[in-house]
């Protein structure tokens, strides 16, 4: 939700892509846009995303080259159930 809010408020994007993929080991959520990119500092919203990712032992990666959009990728490891 925070990623999509950031796109709407700050990115100046005309397109947004949202992908959800699963493997045996993890679930990966990717949100990318074609906006202005160039995120240089992380505000409270991104810091909150990082904190929530840590709660589920996930990796949060943000790439944002200037004038090339932004990509947020969240990789959540799956824990195997013991039956």
Whether residue 15 is predicted with pLDDT greater than 70 in this model: the reply is yes
Nearest CA to 49 out of 38, 40, 62 is that of: 62
Q: What is the pLDDT of residues 62-82, one digit of tens each?
A: 999 999 999 999 999 998 666
Q: What is the pLDDT of residues 18-67, one digit of tens each?
A: 999 999 999 999 999 999 999 877 888 889 999 999 999 999 999 999 99
Cross-strand bridge partners of residue 24: none
Mean pLDDT, to the nearest integer, of 5-26? 93
> How does DSSP classify residue 63?
E
Sequence length of the chain is 83
pTM of the model: 0.85
Sequence-ordered list of residues with C-beta below 8 angstroms from that of 41, at least 6 positions apart, any chain:
none
């Amino acid at each position: 939700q925070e990623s999509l809010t950031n796109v709407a408020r700050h990115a100046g994007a005309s397109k947004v892509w949202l992908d959800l993929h699963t493997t045996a080991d993890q679930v990966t959520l990717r949100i990318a846009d074609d906006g202005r990119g160039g995120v240089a500092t992380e505000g409270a919203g991104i810091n909150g995303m990082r904190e929530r990712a840590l709660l589920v032992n996930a990796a949060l990666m943000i790439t944002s080259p200037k004038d090339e959009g932004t990509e947020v990728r969240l990789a959540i490891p799956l824990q195997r159930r013991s039956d």
